[in-house]
Structure 1
Amino acid sequence: MVEELVAEAFTSATMAELDGLLPEAAADRDGNGPLRTLQRFFTRASGTEFDNISKLWLNARNLSRYRPVLHDQVVSQELRWCRRIEQIITEGVKEQAFRCTDPWAAAVRILAVVDGTSAYINTSADQRMAPLTDLARTLAEAELDLPPGSLRSP
């Protein structure tokens, strides 16, 4: 029972984070295209607004090694994030805003770097974040064949 509640709370929090950072195209009321959606994502994700959710992800991944129900939700949410990024990339390729031959692989790599940089949130974030702030954005620009700085908010 407690296990299910923990998993449900994690899922609820991470779904809200995903919808806040990367709204589905149909839910994006601003009518932003894929380039603007990723610009907004990298700007918001590199700020402090989502630090607590980064801590939740880090701790959930650790606890999921021992809690099968939580493990299933962590995996499900990771895949949901990858699919959402993949959809944005695929849309951008269709609109010729990006060039990418494997949107799934690019999405996985981008998310891995976003998660990797947020892994420092519980320890040395103050000392390490400045050099890491643009790492995910820089990788995404390379993955999408964009000039440096393209994913910075205008």
Structure 2
Amino acid sequence: MTRRSAEVRLDSLLSTACDVIVERGLANTRTSDVAAAAGVSQALVFYHFATKENLLAQAFAYAAEQDLARLHSVVHSTATPLEKLKKILRLYAPQGRSKSWAMWIDGWSESLRTPELEKVSRRLDLRWKEALTEVITAGVDEGAFKCDDPAGAAWRILAIIDGLAVQVTVHDRVMSRRQLSEWIRLSAAREIAIEPAQLI
């Protein structure tokens, strides 16, 4: 097997693993399930991932990295801090029946029992908080926002979205998308002393 074909196959296995995890859950996903869904042998799965725990942690990271690539693009764009903040809130908030949020919720739960997954989820989660802190800090420096604690504000904003996302992902129709968006804008606006309407 050439290096390039191994890389392509690894990418395909991770993508398939994400689909299986969303369907079965992290705790109920077996390496044999991923192998069967990918149409490969279980030995090939173990060739790439020494253990089931390693497979799950890498699949979780693979899914999260797709969102983080979009986040990176927003943070390093030439947009104003306000525009960046609006885009980050849209990226982070759950959309429809979000597979990404289903994996995050499952990942946090499974992290209580799987140290390897806990390390990955913590590292990925912190990248969102660091990015939002950077954007709020830039807004304060430019005079667009007022905030004495950008890092604390970032944690609080994302914590509110985390809690709301769990509700709308787990409980169908518990609140409207409009209500969800309004509460997110309200909490973010309060943290940086702007009007919620500026975040529309």
- TM-score norm. by structure 2 comes to 0.67
**1:65-84 alignment to 2 at 5 Å?**
65-84=112-131
Q: CA RMSD for the aligned pairs?
A: 2.0
C-alpha contact 1:22 1:37 (8 A) present in aligned 2: no
Aligned to 1:58: 105
Deviation string 1:24-72 (CA, Å, 9 cap, x unpaired) is 533x2xx211100112233454462681101110000011111110011
Give me the whole-angstrom Cα distance separating, in 1, the residues matched to 2:80 and 2:96: 23
Aligned to 1:132: 180
Q: Which 10-residue stretch deviates more, 97-106 or 34-43?
A: 34-43
Q: Which has the larger radius of gyration?
A: 2
Aligned to 2:190: 142
C-alpha contact 1:90 1:103 (8 A) present in aligned 2: yes
Q: Which 10-residue stretch deviates more, 33-42 or 95-104?
A: 33-42
**1:1-150 alignment to 2 at 5 Å?**
1-21=51-71, 23=73, 25-26=75-76, 28=77, 31-46=78-93, 48=95, 51-130=98-177, 131-150=179-198
Report SS of the residue matched to 1:99: coil
Give me the whole-angstrom Cα distance separating, in 1, the residues matched to 2:126 and 2:149: 16
Note the residue ranges of structure 1 that are not aligned, 5 or more in a row: none
Using the aligned pairs only, state the percent identity. 28
> Structure 1 residue 123: deviation in Å?
2.9
- Identify which of structures 1 and 2 has the higher relative contact order when contacts are C-alpha pairs closer than 8 Å and 6+ apart: 1
Give me the whole-angstrom Cα distance separating, in 1, the residues matched to 2:181 and 2:172: 11
Give me the whole-angstrom Cα distance separating, in 1, the residues matched to 2:55 and 2:141: 40
> Structure 1 residue 134: deviation in Å?
1.9
Report SS of the residue matched to 1:127: coil
> Structure 1 residue 133: deviation in Å?
2.7
C-alpha contact 1:21 1:44 (8 A) present in aligned 2: yes
Return the structure number with greater helix share.
2
Report SS of the residue matched to 1:146: coil
Give me the whole-angstrom Cα distance separating, in 1, the residues matched to 2:108 and 2:82: 30
Give me the whole-angstrom Cα distance separating, in 2, the residues matched to 1:19 and 1:102: 26
Note the residue ranges of structure 2 that are not aligned, 5 or more in a row: 1-50
Give me the whole-angstrom Cα distance separating, in 2, the residues matched to 1:81 and 1:50: 21
Aligned to 2:16: none
- TM-score norm. by structure 1 comes to 0.86
Give me the whole-angstrom Cα distance separating, in 2, the residues matched to 1:25 and 1:139: 20
